[in-house]
Structure 1
Amino acid sequence: MANLFSSFEPSTNFNLSLNWASSLIGLILIPPMFWFIPSRFNMLWNLIIFNLHKEFKILMGTKNSSGSTLIFISLFSFIMFNNFLGLFPYIFTSTSHMTLTLTLALPLWVSFMIFGWINNTIHMFAHLVPQGTPPVLMPFMVCIETISNIIRPGTLAVRLSANMIAGHLLMTLLGNTGASLSLIMINLLIIIQILLLILESAVSIIQSYVFAVLSTLYSSEVN
């Protein structure tokens, strides 16, 4: 089991967490696209950013979206880069660790809560009891809503890291069986691994999008 989870171990042979440097590789890859404008890569990236901006603007409301969407677009970009880098061999997947995912989710949630409770206290209290709740159920609803609010950063962090670990672990398990298989089965295994890699590429984009969208929704609730 220790060998199976070794790909998720952040320490290296020198007992240094140099593998965390993989989070910075995305920053090295971004600058070259600005040398040739408009390059195809630059046009594609601008298209993604503009579409995300329009979508986040709708979610946040027009009066609150001036510049705020850039935070969530940056968050989406950072997570997506790290998710994709983890698909390459011998590159450590930093988003499969709760250390990174909680570092992203917790400060966002805390800042939303502080902002909401200081500026819109009545609005935040109103959120604890959904509209149309019978008076008998109100105390229970307050407890349920409070708990669901408190566990939000945890669910954001666990969702991202669990999805990253699950796919990588499945590919590792299947890859380890290759040595004992016949030629026909190895060919079948390669096809399955390629399909899983395509699936993981889709999951990388989806999970970064989900993280950014849920963060946007949580921020829109406190206004």
Structure 2
Amino acid sequence: MEFSNSQVDVLKKLSFANYLNEIMQHYEIMFPLLIPLLKKECFRSFVEQGIVLAKESGYTQRGPVRLYLDMMIIFGSHFEQDPLFKKLKVEEDKNVSQIEKSVTLYTLLGKYLKTVYGLSGLYFKESIRVFQRLNIKTLPVGINVSNNELHELLRGIYPQRYDFATSDSIDELITLSDEYCRRHGLKNQNNKSYLILVMFLFGCSFGQGSFRDRFIKGLLIKYFNNKDVSNHCAIVSHYASFQINNM
């Protein structure tokens, strides 16, 4: 029995739909707080976009693609280019298969979760509590790359993440934030410091990452227009939604 081209196309679509359903079930367990915020269908469309990005990065097999999607959600889209996550970058080598690359990526992710996320999310949960208690009216107003006060702010909120990134990468983050501010006409010094904090916690690529852009940009605009505690709490709540279940 031979299948016609149209039948083959239907089978491919069914196979892809089944794969998407499988991934969605995985994330409903892994990120139980995140999907309700984004809405299921919206999250599903982001997963489809993520599969395209995974392919562009050389991952086309089921296991490697899902691992890449996991890391996109945890670290942000284009995390390989984020100065905060230089240690997670896998060097390109045409002689290395995507399975071998994904094994390396999995090992790097495991080390990150152990040293930065913490057992059962211990370190991440503490960063949520510190971020929640932050006095937004006393943020550092300097935005120079040598601003020790700003470095101390970030380290105080999430020391494990700061140490993982290193101070040099934090300097790069500050430089990137300066470019972002110029591009969007952001001049208020308090807003600039808060932006750096958000980039530190959400990843420098939140301006490009579909898993973050859906909500964080709108919340930031609200915060910049009105530095009300409720707007800060909304951002904290969305940060907390990236908590990983059973980790």
State if a TM-score over 0.5 links the two structures.
no
TM-score (norm 2): 0.27
TM-score (norm 1): 0.29
